[in-house]
Amino acid sequence: MIDAEASPPAETSAQGLTSAEVAERAARGAVNNVPARSSRSAREIVRANVFTRFNAIIGTLFVVILVFGSPQDGLFGLVIVANTAIGIIQELRAKKTLDTLAVVGEAKPRVRRDGRTTEVTPRELVLDDVCDIGAGEQIVVDGVVVEADGLELDESLLTGESDPVHKRPGDPVMSGSFVAAGNGAFRATKVGRDAYAARLAEEASRFTLTRSELRAGLDVILKYVTWLMVPVGVLLLISQLRSNKDDFSGAMTGMVAGVVTMVPEGLMLLTSVAFAVGVVRLGRKQCLVQELPAIEGLARVDVVCLDKTGTLTEGGMDVGEVRTLASGLPVKEALGALGTSDPRPNASLQAIIDAHPAPEGDGWRVTGVEPFSSARKWSGATFAGEGSWLLGAPDVLLPQGDPVLREVDELGAQGLRVLLLAKADGPLGDRAGETATPAALVVLEQRLRPDAADTLRYFASQDVAAKVISGDNALSVGAVAGKLGLAGAEHAVDARDLPEDRAELAQALEGNTVFGRVTPQQKRAMVAGLQSRDHTVAMTGDGVNDVLALKDADIGVAMGSGSAASRSVAQIVLLDDKFATLPSVVAEGRRVIGNIERVANLFLSKTVYALLLSLLTGVAGLPFPFLPRHLTLIGTLTIGTPAFFLALGPNTERARPGFVPRVLRFAVPAGVVAAGATFLTYSLARLNHGSSLAQDRTGATITLFLVAMWILAIVARPLAWWKVVLIAAMGGGYLLAMFVPFLADFFALYPDNLPNWGIAVGIGVAGMAILEFGWHVSGWLQRRHPGTAHHPGAPAGTAKGA
């Protein structure tokens, strides 16, 4: 364990290390060598894509074909190689994007070395480094406090306790906690994997593609498919041996053709590719996805909770005016002095500092500080010779009914932020505001984000409810939201009047849009209340007061310039602070999940018709109606190639629970129609004694291709120009394979028997008509009963996104 064996005295340790001491510790390995966040190694990516259950199955069947069949029938093996390569390349691209953005977005501790303070990366920290800390910053290693100026740490991420803990010199601090208020410094006593939260952080930061409802559903489907493959393969082999008594190689080829088609080999690949491409696309917009399943969660979001400051408004503010409330008090000097009391001022205090410089003289020397707290809503300082002064929320510092509050409400209704400067009659403390004398109102003008109105309109158009949850005055928050055109902004709610009961709170949240004077604990309770109503909640924020809600929300979105604590708990970080990126983030999630459901319909329809054809052929004792190369051709043109494009196309439909039942409700009927039509064509062709087995198989291929193409056309709806071109290109590819002589010989297609032609096309068109009728019936049922599960390409706008 890397630990400090003998702690140097606090007075000397607070000075920090020298370069020589840092080098000595680095040489003996006493460094914070935690792994970089977010990414697994290239070796793990290759292993995960190559050594899969289905690659093993396909590889075994490929070897069987090479031994017993024709090389042309082993084309499916090459398809797997290509798909695996695509998966590896896409995930490596995602890894590169994640690694780059993670370095940009990570917190940089400030350490004291050689008598000055400098920023380093977390991995450059060494044992005994003295780290400066301030409000919103996260503790990255374990240590002992050496300086404390009103220092309060929030350890809720470690202990679950939401109340801040006061820290004094000599008190321990744990990695994973963050500064709720005040400033200070601590000496690192445990670094690297010995730090309290290091193992938890390392595990939580792993790049993962598996922890999601979507992939869990796919795993269930694939598990059952695997179980069915063995008995069906045995049945098919027995039947093929009976019908090919003198042709063992032909029997093995027929068995492989049936089994290999049952494998939805590209489905898991395209899921991984869609996630990885989503990461790359969002990365180009300076959006860091810290947990890949967050992309799926984004698709399910139906409520987004927005903090006003830093989200709807820009971080900076300007002092509009200072309204004096009591004569004879040094208002301007007090404001300037309060600015000097906080080494890391927030946006409000920075605006005051810019407008009022620090006063001269010893009378305003700081002797005590009470740092700003989101729960307390004010900060204060005591000055030698001038007493104690407070700066904070007027409706918290003033008693209810005070005439000054009417003036505050009038200003707040104009979208202005108002702070009260007050002279405390006694010492600083939690009850100092109860006897303070109002001195002045500081009116701050907030800068609206130019893109905020468009972003709110986007959410409204996508049926995503926006809730503005802020610690500021409710009237001020409502005025800002009203300027941005948010519906319901005129009925702003003061969170101090909200009920504590979760059910009643959830009811209030459903009926209102804007909430002010919300405490950090209330933000957390609001998220839980919305989730109790089966909402999928995204929470945005940038400050310490947002951390608990960000952590509990289904999707936490932090601003890149926000506190290190907020960035560390969020699944998504907007590195460039652009609120307008949020629509792209939500749209990317919907695109990924909606398109994976589309392609799942294709792959599982193929699994169903392959399973049924194998069973029908086995029971009837007929030679299997296809060679492996036939099904490779049909699968490539109706599933593999179009699925790749459909998986990456636009799609704005919000994802809903019930992925597996919904896919099966489409895939099973579609697969039954395809198998029934194909087997009927094949059976009738076998009764035509003037045709050969190769010609009969060609007829079955024609019917299956026609029905499979119509399944593709339904899944691709609503049709856009590029989808029409895609479907037409796939049809053209099949015609080339059938009528170009060397391709027809390669794929063993012989369309020269007119009776078979007529049977194949006629039954294929009938199958297409049945599918179309079923699609319209499904759409009618969904319009009649809106709760009915969505079906692919449903009319009436239920599948948006062309």
> Which residues carry out catalysis?
307
Q: What are phi and psi of 74, to 5 degrees?
A: -95, 15
Helix H, strand E, coil C: the string for 769-792 is HHHHHHHHHHHHHHHHCCCCCCCC
Cis check: omega of the bond before 169, within 30 degrees of 0: no
User: Cβ–Cβ contacts within 10 Å for residue 337, how many?
Assistant: 22
3-state secondary structure of 164: coil
Q: Map residue 304 onto helix, strand or coil.
A: strand
Measured over the CA atoms of residue 616, residue 622, residue 627 and residue 628, the dihedral's sign is: positive
In what helix (H) or strand (E) does residue 656 lie, and over which residues does it extend? none
Would you say 420 and 398 are in contact if contact means Cβ atoms under 8 Å apart? yes
Residue among 481, 420, 416 nearest 446 (CA):
416
361: left (phi over 0), alpha (psi -120 to 50) or beta: left
**Integer angstrom CA distances of residue 591 from 101, 664, 772, 799:** 22, 21, 25, 11
User: What phi and psi values does residue 173 have, to the nearest 5 degrees?
Assistant: -125, 145
Please list, in sequence order, all residues whose beta carbon lies within 8 angstroms of the beta carbon of residue 744, skipping any fewer than 6 positions away: 737, 738, 750, 751
Report the alpha-carbon distance of residue 518 to residue 524 in Å, rounded. Answer: 10
Task: Quote the DSSP letter at residue 638.
Answer: I
Q: What is the DSSP string of 467-533?
A: EEE-SS-HHHHHHHHHHTT-TTTTS-EEGGGS-SSHHHHHHHHHH--EEES--HHHHHHHHHHHHHT
CA dihedral 537, 540, 545, 550 (to 10 degrees): 50
* Strands 572-574, 287-289: pairing kind: antiparallel
Nearest-angstrom CA–CA distance, 769 and 680: 16
